[in-house]
Amino acid sequence: MGSLDNKIALVTGGSRGIGKAIALAFAAEGAHVAFTYKSASGAAEETANAIRAVGRKTLALQSDARNSDEAAKVVDAIVKEFQRLDILVNNAGITKDTLLMRMSEQDWDDVIDTNLKSAFNFSKAVSRPMMSQRAGTIVNISSIAGVIGNPGQTNYSAAKAGMIGMTKTLAKELSSRNIRVNAVAPGFVDTDMTEKLTPQQKEALVAMIPMKRTAKPEEIASVVVFLASPASGYMTGQVLCVDGGLVM
């Protein structure tokens, strides 16, 4: 028996990185897991196969998270397939890092739309089925960049801070219908995003972290499982930093 036995979960941006780790952790805890991906169909197939390998059902849905109509279609497809939707994880995200004075309007718009607008689109789309079943949980993947800022990431920090504001407001709006909304703010995680750093940059980064290492995606996923499960049943509107002590 897992803590999410037979729950129906949706993870946006679930084909790789933190999203994939969350999808697999949910499946390991007994959930059936649908996930979206933008273009990496090979990676999506791998994730779907890994979910099926533990005996769980899955739907891999290609979708542009920035588009509200596509978000609504994804949620409709899941509810049609599984008759309900218990968990949403807003994880879809990109970075386009540069200092503000060099940042183009396109860099700003792309990051705000992919990281923040997508969370609005999917949260709105799931709110109706969750309200009618009078149960549900939403977990937003924010970032420590949204808590303390990060030079070269004005767009990303603004989007992730926006997700924190959205988390707290939605928690207040939806709690009377037994829907909980929380956020996880990861620190630096071993994913495609951090692989772009030079060894010198990585070294400087690790020196700043009290635990002297970056996180594995699975270490973020386990906290998301906790927030999606009955173990956190009296928590809503919270932001948990999973960052090796960086923000304390």
Q: What is the CA radius of gyration of the chain?
A: 17
Distinct helix (H) and strand (E) counts, the chain: 10, 7
- What value, to the nearest 5°, has the Cα angle with vertex 30 and ends 29 and 36? 90
User: How far, in Å, CA of 90 to CA of 108, rounded?
Assistant: 19
Which residue has 């999606």 as its token pair? 228
User: How far, in Å, CA of 204 to CA of 70, rounded?
Assistant: 40
User: How far, in Å, CA of 117 to CA of 102, rounded?
Assistant: 23
User: How far, in Å, CA of 47 to CA of 221, rounded?
Assistant: 15
- Whether the Cβ atoms of residue 184 and residue 141 lie closer than 8 Å to each other: yes
From the list 26, 82, 156, 188, the catalytic residue is 156
Active site residue 156: yes
Query: In this structure, what are the phi and psi dihedrals at residue 91, rounded to the nearest 5 degrees?
Result: -115, -20
- Whether the Cβ atoms of residue 144 and residue 185 lie closer than 8 Å to each other: yes
- Which residues have a catalytic role annotated? 156
